[in-house]
Structure 1
Amino acid sequence: MPSAEPVVQLRCYCKNDGWGKKGHDSMAARLCAKTPGTDFKIEDDKHYSEMWMGTYPTTPSYVISTGETLQEYLKKYPELLGKKVRDKFEGELPYLPKILSMSKALPLQVHPDRKMAQQLHARDPKKFGDTNHKPEIAVALGPFELFAGWKPLTDLTRLFANKPLQRFLPPGEDKFHDGTLKQVARNILEAPENVVEQTIADVIKLPDDAFESKYRYIPSLLQRVCEQYSPTDNGTLLAVLCMNFFQLNAGDSVYVPADGIHAYLSGDIVECMARSDNVLNTGFCPRAERDSVEVFCEALSFWPHEPDEAFLGKHPADKAKHGKTLEYAPPISEFNMLATHLKAGEKESIQPIDGPTVMVVTGGAGKMHAANKTLDISEGYVYFVGHGVGLDFEACPQELHVFMAYAE
């Protein structure tokens, strides 16, 4: 058997969910279409939502030089994962990077933890295709709006003192704790459509002084999300009233734990998650596509409870020689992410990583020196880099932006 090439270029594909951006407005589609040799073509009347870069079987990446899926290539050459990663994750690439482009809210969702994922997979393996958990990070590539985690309990206590919202409180309770919040979430999600529609209308009519200054956005955001889906969508009430609403800029990032409630609203992002596609949806989607409220509420955790707790910090990467690379390090073992940003003429060196890397060029052009080869790289190029390979980047003739997910 010939020896493995440790650095291989990947061909990826883009999904067509209705919440994606249309045609060339979608960064996911634009990047996907720029891979050399791809047969992917952008149609301006189609929505493009997610470009996947990894081994998950529903939307696999392909090794351009061999025509194999990346999964097949790594099964043939498992040494590319490195012994530690191969042993710990049973021979699998443990993460799944994506580019997401959103024109409206994704379904309101949680990803079940490992225990629940195993139960759901045993019950319905077609819908829940694996037994893994799915913590994830999202790094903004520009303006990015989302819902993630819960408003502070004291804020919810004051907010739900407004008469139109008192109908969702458990009998005899007016101060929020996690048990109250869980019951309020269930009551909102189980409310009849006419109650949802009337409540939204009533909240929109409340005077400004019904809301703390930081929540004055609630009426207008209710109207905006209603226009995207329906004034009877239960998820609109739960997200806008109970969840933290964020407006982030390029480079900002959030961490969503496996059982954390979230819904991305607009923008372009690099996302990375543990290798799973399990999800429970209960809003911002047709009623027929919603999962059981009981199961959804069972899966919920009640972290984060403060807006700052949802943010994922970044720091200069120890693995980078010239200080042009940032690292995002979520509190999980499946992956970290590096982001290298170079101006024209600048260089960066990334030391060999004790595990596999998947990298995507999100902007600009330059050269990459790796495994005794010099490769021209530009926007839309995606590579798998095997264990123990160092990378040298040079931005020319313009700037260069590269994101790298890796495991060690």
Structure 2
Amino acid sequence: MEENNNTEIKKRKRMINKPLRLQCAVKNYNWGIVGNKSHVSRLFCLNSGTHINPNEPYAEFWIGTHESGASFLDHGGLSLKEWISKNPDVLGDRVLNKWGGDLPFLFKVLSVEKALSIQAHPDKELARTLHKSQPSLYSDENHKPEMALALTEFEALCGFISLKVTHSFISDISIRLIVLSDCMDLLLALQHSITDWLGFTYGMVILQELRNVLCTVPEIVDLVGGADAEQCFPVSEFGRSQEVKAIVESIFSQILLSSRDEICEIVSRLKWRLNLEKKKRQLTDKEMLVLRLEGQYPDDAGVLATFLLNYVKLNRGEALCIGANEPHAYIRGECIECMATSDNVVRAGLTSKHRDIDAAEV
């Protein structure tokens, strides 16, 4: 009996140590790259042995256990989630203790031809609320922080217009200064000073960017009203970052909550003005992007809202990280994406799908 048990244990260990081939899911969303020009299509072809449809968009290739696109073992018919539940040791003690017997991340490859919606992924508290109230729209209770690594040149909107220096850079300065001193009082003083400096500087830069938007995009002022748009001008140059960010978020929300008739009129005027001005001057990158997005999503509030978001361009090998509740949109290019195991998306603009502005505001 003991010999049989030992044999079974050894057999299971050999199975665990042996690479297992997975059959993975593909998503053919209409924003994907068509035919064999897509990394996703070629990867899916190699994985599944199926032929590439030259007329079909290939948008996402999923590797993971999420029920919306679960991976299966190549032989035996078991899902990856079922196999892990039978072999939990493959996750390691730390993962098992923290996440239980399931893969704690979802891995994707994306091929983006047409812009995805302006969206945010909820934190855990909001995800639980949304799943409970609208399970058909929000299929799980998980948060969804994510990171994207560019496989090609990659364009995205990411976060509200803001300081280009990251918090990690400031933290690095703080650490370097702290290492030079054994004095606890100085350590605390430095931390407070850097935090204050970051708040002031962030506020100054985002305030200047917002003022620039309102001065150069009169259509936004016309839509939200002069009084609301001008609320940023009395703010001190040394206003705290949260005060300034709240103004940006307020204007962003007003744009998204405007009626379709209002948006149609304003976007039409914006398009007419930019097409006229490009005959006289070189449009900015953001202005050219707005015209491109208007061509993909006519009369969409997201076209105007784009002016309030950072426009980033990644080279191959560069990456960005997106936290919970952070507005973003992938514009064009191909990337590898890794995120918490969730498919929750709160859409706000650049979409024909359901928009949940109330959830986006939370």
Tell me how many residue pairs correspond in the alignment: 289
After TM superposition, the score normalised by the length of structure 1 is 0.67
Contact 1:74-1:80 within 8 A present in 2 as well: yes
Matches within 5 A, 1:354-369: none
- The structure whose RCO (Cα within 8 Å, separation 6+) is larger is 2
Give deviations 1:15-74, integer Å, cap 9, x for gaps. Answer: 010100111111111111102xx2533211111100000111111111113331111110
SS in 2 for 1:59: coil
Which residue matches 1:377? none
Give deviations 1:265-288, integer Å, cap 9, x for gaps. Answer: 1111000001111111121211xx
After TM superposition, the score normalised by the length of structure 2 is 0.75
Contact 1:135-1:256 within 8 A present in 2 as well: yes
Give deviations 1:89-142, integer Å, cap 9, x for gaps. Answer: 011110001000010101110001000001111112232121111000000001
Q: Distance in 2 between matches of 1:149 and 1:188?
A: 16
Q: Percent identity among equivalent residues? A: 30
Which residue matches 1:115? 125
Which residue matches 1:272? 338
Which residue matches 1:197? 264
Contact 1:208-1:216 within 8 A present in 2 as well: no
Contact 2:160-2:248 within 8 A present in 1 as well: no
Which residue matches 2:33? 21
Q: Distance in 2 between matches of 1:77 and 1:39?
A: 28
**Does structure 1 residue 165 correspond to structure 2 residue 176?**
no
Give deviations 1:125-176, integer Å, cap 9, x for gaps. Answer: 2321211110000000011111111113221122113432213255361337
1:180 to 231, 247, 260: 247
Matches within 5 A, 1:58-207: 58-152=68-162, 153=206, 154-162=208-216, 163-167=218-222, 168=224, 171=228, 173-175=231-233, 177-204=244-271, 205=273
Amino acid at match of 2:262: V
Contact 1:9-1:63 within 8 A present in 2 as well: yes
Structure 2: give runs of 5+ residues left out of the alignment.
1-7, 163-205, 236-243
Which residue matches 2:285? 217
SS in 1 for 2:292: helix
Query: RMSD over aligned Cα, in angstroms?
Result: 2.2
Structure 1: give runs of 5+ residues left out of the alignment.
299-408
SS in 2 for 1:8: coil
**Structure number with bigger Rg:** 2
Contact 1:161-1:174 within 8 A present in 2 as well: no
Structure with the higher strand share, 1 or 2: 1
Structure with the higher helix share, 1 or 2: 2
SS in 1 for 2:127: helix
**Does structure 1 residue 284 correspond to structure 2 residue 284?**
no
Q: Distance in 1 between matches of 2:295 and 2:160?
A: 23
Contact 2:16-2:87 within 8 A present in 1 as well: no
Displacement, 1:198?
A: 3.3
SS in 1 for 2:28: coil
